[in-house]
A and B are shown apart, each in its own frame.
Chain A
Amino acid sequence: MSGDGGPPVLDEGTPLFTQIADRLAEDIADGSLAEGDRAPSSNELAAFYRINPATAAKGINVLIDDGLLEKRRGVGMFVSDGARQRLLDARRRQFAERYVRPMVVEADRLGIDADALVALVRESGDRASPNGVRDGYTQEGITL
């Protein structure tokens, strides 16, 4: 679950290994950990986040199970081919559930109707940063 999502807000009560997996997945999704790059080792993550190395290893294992990282014997963990695309696909599939649905529920509670909501989304989109992920992100790709 955590390799490609989980609750968007991380709390201190969320299992640590899930948070580690989420942060690594985030790095892969935004390209700062590129495909073919070596991922940090469990000991490096443990020292950086000041957590138990076994916990860090558990987080890495989540991504290995999801096929986002692969082990190369004696060298370390590397980001798999196609990992970024798979993460982005998964997030797009979850987008409606995680972001649109809560927004619609709240809009309904405040008496904002569908047209007003769409107008707000358009207005907000005009101001959005141009740095977002654009590939394959078309009007037809996402139907509300």
Chain B
Amino acid sequence: MSTAISIAGVTRRYRDQVALDDVTIDIPGPSITGLLGRNGAGKSTLLRIIAAQEFVSCGQVEVLGESPVEHDPVLRRMVLVREDQVFPDFRVCHAIRAASWFYPNWDADLCGALLDDFELPQKRMIKKLSRGMRSALGIAIGLAARAEVTLLDEPYAGLDAVARQLFYDRLLAEYAEHPRTFLLSTHLIDEVADLLERVVMIDHGRVVLDADADEVRGGATAVRGPSAAVDQFVAGRPTWDRRKVGSQVSVVVAGAMDDADWARARELHLGLEPLSLQQMVIQAAGRANEARRGADRDGDGDQAMEDKVMKKERTHA
């Protein structure tokens, strides 16, 4: 595996607002990487910057080893499907034809199959398409481009569950037959969790998680049971998110559980529940928020706190 996308110290400011704050990540390829984060976290800005549709305030971006900015050979090996994709005032078939001219690996058969899958009428004016159909058109172009770097920004707005499943199945089939680098931004984490092999999470413009999905999944475990037994079990382990109801306590413990832990939990009559990717992401966001608030209160040590959070992430992972 090599590095498909390399982002080093990228910051993007809009007047007084910081959209991306010193972002450094390497996306390996081929891979399916999830770009996660809440609305407004900076996901779309990052994808547009990678696609050279927006400029950095400072920092470096390399795609397939070269800067993509105004560099046609790289731009043709990369496709970005934007959430707010605007098409000129023409028909579906025209948009398809234009895309087929631009992308050297364009697969017309695949595009036709995708249009059939999504029941997209080729003669329809694009501005007459529903929200979901416009998303389907974006997905068809994004996959049929067979670009080495495929950036998909919340590509399924307005698509129903059946159409989204179609998209996931097609994405997996494409990846199996023609391995390439997919970077998929989403907040439907549970839906796509199993498709991802790498996870990057952005919060308030900063990277708070950057790890293999398998390491994140089950990288922490919720321990539930009577307070004394839980305390005995978690003693000496890093814990977060302690909650209590009556005599019952629930604590999240960092790290995966081995067979001995499971046996011990059974003896103590404790419930163990490994955290899903979605739960881990929520935990990561919560801790990042705490760290930021703590830093705001102190008025200093901001960077140190964030570094600590990231380091903690890595050790969990």
Contact = CB atoms under 8 A, between A and B. Distances in A.
A12 B218 CA distance: 8
A14 B256 CA distance: 9
Contact of B217 (A1, A6, A13): A13
Contact of A47 (B176, B221, B263): B176
B273 A11 contact: yes
B195 A97 contact: no
A13 B271 CA distance: 14
B79 interface: no
B259 A5 contact: yes
Interface string A45-89: 011011111110010000000000000000000000000000000
B240 interface: no
B217 A16 contact: yes
B263 A55 contact: no
B72 to A, nearest CB: 31
B172 A46 contact: yes
A6 B259 contact: yes
Interface in A91-109: 97, 101-102, 105, 109
A47 B173 contact: yes
B175 interface: yes
A109 B218 CA distance: 30
A50 B169 contact: yes
Contact of B195 (A15, A17, A51, A105): A51
Interface in B186-243: 194-197, 213-214, 217-218, 221
B262 A7 contact: yes
A60 B32 CA distance: 19
B214 A49 contact: no
Q: Number of contact residues on A: which range applies?
A: 20 to 34
Given A53-B176, A55-B214, A58-B214, A13 B194 contact: no
A52 B275 contact: no
A52 B263 contact: no
B195 A52 contact: yes
Contacts of B217: 13-16
B214 A12 contact: no
A50 B267 contact: no
B194 A50 contact: yes
A14 B217 CA distance: 7
Given A15-B214, A102-B266, A54 B197 contact: yes
B122 interface: no
Contacts of B195: 50-52
B274 interface: yes
A16 B173 contact: no
Given A11-B273, A52-B172, 18 more contacts: A7-B257, A12-B274, A13-B217, A13-B273, A13-B274, A14-B217, A15-B214, A15-B217, A16-B217, A17-B214, A46-B172, A47-B172, A50-B195, A52-B195, A54-B197, A55-B213, A55-B214, A58-B214
Give the 5 A-B CB pairs with smallest separation, nearest first: A13-B274, A43-B176, A13-B218, A51-B194, A52-B197
Interface of B: 31-32, 168-169, 172-173, 175-176, 194-197, 213-214, 217-218, 221, 256-259, 262-263, 266-267, 269, 273-276, 279
10 contacts: A13-B274, A13-B279, A14-B217, A14-B274, A15-B218, A43-B176, A50-B169, A51-B195, A54-B31, A101-B263
Interface of A: 1, 5-7, 11-17, 43, 46-47, 49-55, 58, 97, 101-102, 105, 109
